[in-house]
Amino acid sequence: MVSEFKEFAMRGNVVDLAVGVVIGAAFGKIVASLVNDVIMPAVGFIVGGVNFSDLAVELKAASVDAAGAEVPAVLIKYGAFIQTIVDFLIIAFAIFVAVKVINKLKRKEEAAPAAPPAPSDEVKLLTEIRDALKSR
């Protein structure tokens, strides 16, 4: 069982997938930082100083229960949702561009067809016989 797992794990596809997941996670963090720290503050400034991470609808205000413990407010944080949508759009666009480049490279490979194989000795001999019979 261990040898089967080792064979499975060392296949090229599994290793490529693992590398893709690690790079994708790092790319997601970079995009999240870009959106949260660069894009959304600029958009918020343009639309009048709005901080999107603070945008929320309060369903229930924060309160203190009978035991004296603080009960947090119940919020629908639509600003954070907007930031997540922007994250998704940037990542989706990057993946789209990558797939488009890969498809373009594949089309170039397919566009250059291989030369047809040379005829076999039997075909050459039959062609000579046919030509000889036609000339008679």
* Within-domain flag for 12: yes
In total, how many domains does the chain have?
1
Residue 13, pLDDT above cutoff 90: no
Residue 57, pLDDT above cutoff 90: yes
- Give the pLDDT of residue 9: 67
Q: Write the CB contacts of 64 (distance below 8 Å, at least 6 apart in sequence).
A: 70, 71
Q: How many helices (H) and strands (E) does the chain have?
A: 5, 4
Residue range 52-72: mean pLDDT, rounded:
89
* Within-domain flag for 70: no
Cα separation, 28 vs 7, whole angstroms: 30
Q: Are 53 and 35 in contact (CB under 8 A)?
A: no
Q: Supply the range of the domain harboring residue 36.
A: 1-48
* Within-domain flag for 44: yes
